[in-house]
Copies of this chain bind each other. A is one copy, B any other.
Amino acid sequence: MSSAPLIASIEAGGTKFVCAVATSPDDIRAEFRIPTTKPDETLEECCKFFTDQASSHGSVSALGIGTFGPAGVNQSASDYGFITSTPKRHWQNVNLLGTIRSAIGDVPAAFDTDVNAAAVGEWKWGAGRGVDSVLYITVGTGIGGGLAVNGQPLHGLVHPEMGHIRIPRVEDDPFVGNCPFHRDCFEGLASGPAIEKRWGQDAVDLPKEHPAWGLQAEYLSLALVNLICALSPERIVLGGGVMEQLHLFPLIRRRVVELLANYISSPSILSGIDDYIVPPGLGNQAGLAGGIALGAKALDAV
């Protein structure tokens, strides 16, 4: 049994919360999943889980949280640890970190977006092992992205909102886009709900030969090219429900190479694209693993 410190990890999603007590993704001592309802209910149950675990496994040494957002990730800001201006009813301005800490105690903690946590998780234990900078993009109900550079998530003004970049429209695509803020941004054109709205049926029901997938690959490729030019990641991990359509990967890889047109002269793109744009190595555990990694890192920083 590992002697690594015990970490509390939370993946706070818009539809469910996943909590764990673990030393690594391979050594999860207990895991707990509940639907995301109202903050009082959901967080109370999470707190109860951690309190119960403390009595059976002992206290955790640190806490890592990856959450849906927007979220206050700036440690020196007054909204640090909060879910902030989310469109999700009830969850605006909720002190997620503070509430969990009230159960766990004042251990070293890290609080970040779900996608930043996933980027860190994939960097440490998943498809991003061995490189310095990992871009994680999720394409599902929404689209989001996080960048980890040497295990450190990229922050700044707030946190990246990669789903909302503007990309060129494909000329014969009549769909106007469904982002309530920007209409035809990346998310507005290529999220799961956008696919469903454009084609009148759920993405999972569309056959592989359906023109939906070529169009989807085009929009994903345009966005990835922009993120490659902006961030220069050493590996790109594409997760989320839409990316479970693995037949998208070869389409995207081919198109990204075409669109970059030999401008980025790196072997990763010129000859290694199959290992450059990849599915998550941790499946849907990237976020939870990222929480563990973030917690461990917060402990190291003390």
Report A's interface with B, CB cutoff 8 A: 70, 84-85, 132-133, 145, 149, 154-169, 181-182, 222, 225-234, 259, 261-266, 268-269
By secondary structure, the A interface counts as loop
Q: List 25 A-B contacts (CB under 8 A).
A: A70-B265, A132-B155, A133-B155, A133-B156, A133-B157, A154-B231, A155-B232, A157-B234, A157-B264, A158-B232, A158-B264, A158-B266, A161-B232, A162-B229, A164-B229, A166-B167, A166-B222, A166-B225, A166-B226, A181-B261, A182-B259, A182-B263, A226-B226, A227-B230, A230-B230
B231 touches A156 (CB 8 A): yes
User: Which of B160, B168, B222, B232 is close to A159, meaning CB atoms less than 8 Å apart?
Assistant: B232
Bound CA–CA A154/B169 (angstroms): 29
Taking each of A165, A227, A261, which has the highest tally of chain B beta carbons within 10 Å of its own beta carbon? A165
A160 touches B229 (CB 8 A): yes
- Each complex incorporates copies of this chain amounting to 2
Please give, as numbers and ranges, the residues of chain B lying within 8 Å of A225 by CB-CB distance: 165-166
Bound CA–CA A298/B159 (angstroms): 28
Bound CA–CA A228/B182 (angstroms): 14
